[in-house]
Structure 1
């Protein structure tokens, strides 16, 4: 099948709209007509080279939803017309991590930056018209009008699901919400710091609020983002980390926040150190943001780490199990507890994808969405 998609031919680079050929689905695969895709910062990290991929060209996009167009032979559980939300991390259901409730760490994830079929690093589901293989971002490539994916990456959802909103559940919402609820284990009455309010940080705010945090203090230099955080339930929004830490200490007898979540656009070790300075004894820093993959080092006081029993925890997809958590978050949205509509600042046609990323870097979007 022919399709149009946004590819990177190199990094650093910009997305280019090209004609693609999409494979027929094999066993345990489905082909999906995309409805919407979020413009996640992680794809921009691929474009800048912060997040290196193994094969170019690569068709971007890993946060999306669509309608099943065809189903591979001997593939159960899906039919043409089904609505699906993609999980940017596959879940096989069989490995050690899936079987212990850590689907975000599924062993199939070892291949997501290769962009091939899981079982064959030389087999690709997308090609250019001249036959050149095209890697799929995180195995799914939601920046293509049609895409063929493994069923390990697809979550079937009810027929009345508004995919143009629910597409965000495939990355941003679960990553941010889960950073607070699953990784940070925010408790009722806690004081929470959140550094950075983009697509991930906005949902960390929602997760902290849902978990019962008494104070949610966000930091962002952009006034629009601070205002958005307040509308999502944050109690305080300031421009600098220093201001946020003082507010946290004012409510905790000088101790600091219980949990600090780092969701800045491009992370460095200094951001983690700032969050570390803002938490109490036995407090937790949750590191969710991405930056240069080659960067090493977090400048934190070693004795403070030891004697105060502070914790620094990485968070991948908010420590979510997507087969359980995506339907749960969809239920929260449909019940009116989780805000999705308010997260989408601007919708773009596929041809304007680079404008969408320019807007993201300019700080004018919480989440941009491609509508097909």
Structure 2
């Protein structure tokens, strides 16, 4: 059985949540429909005429790409223009296009994590925070004999995760009272009789993302017909989400040595460097795509070098003045995130006949001479 398009995208969005995207970023379904059977998915960095031709040859039903095929409002759909012909071919061959951009950059295991890990960075953290995970306090009351069971269920569903610790809760014993009324089917007690039960109050923390799953698991495991529970918003900040990563190399290297490593890692014939090649480098900031405007974040994080694409002349001058080195491998290095995603998505839909492939088209517009 082949997977439905909506099912594939739901799974993909678990890896790359749409809510992580920066404001006004054009993401999501841009061409076609997901309400169909998908035999073949193709992952691509861009949706160019060459990529679309490849998708047609490969009988692809869905393209999941990083860069938007519709970036600005379309005022017309003329098939005598380059863009118009591209859209026409996608529609004629029933190829849907789904975009994940900054949310793919920001997500755990996304573009920036893959780039940082490929360069061997340790003690990684977010370079430029964008969002903070919202936390809530969940309080639920349960009979003593069901206390341990519910603790386990809550933890397995995602509640009580703080740093590297799981199943974090606070528990307080007390007496619960209730009187079953007509029409009820009480687990304990009789209709019309006031009951007193030894109960435990469980307090735990849950993220906004996990809240619904945790509550559903709690209600499923709880013995009561009507479960007494409360959910409170917290001012505490949860996990930080953002663009770029900063971390440390295992040991210091020269700027020249690191530049050579970047070339090998991202399979580049050449790149641009700002700074003395013999400068010692240990702390590294990295950001996929065009990251010039985030130079200040790399400086704030005391990075020795900032690795990002599309660096302009004035940013290079500013970096020299700030005492930070730069390595510009180009925008296209984001392609490194496609293969890990192919593996993750393929494993997630392994029970179906749907195949996930990678585009083999090099969409980098620059050539080195």
**Shorter-chain TM band:** 0.3 to 0.5
TM-score (structure 2 length as normaliser): 0.33
Structure possessing the higher radius of gyration over alpha carbons: 2
Which protein is richer in strand relative to its size? 2
Higher relative contact order (CA 8 A, sep 6+): 2
TM-score (structure 1 length as normaliser): 0.32
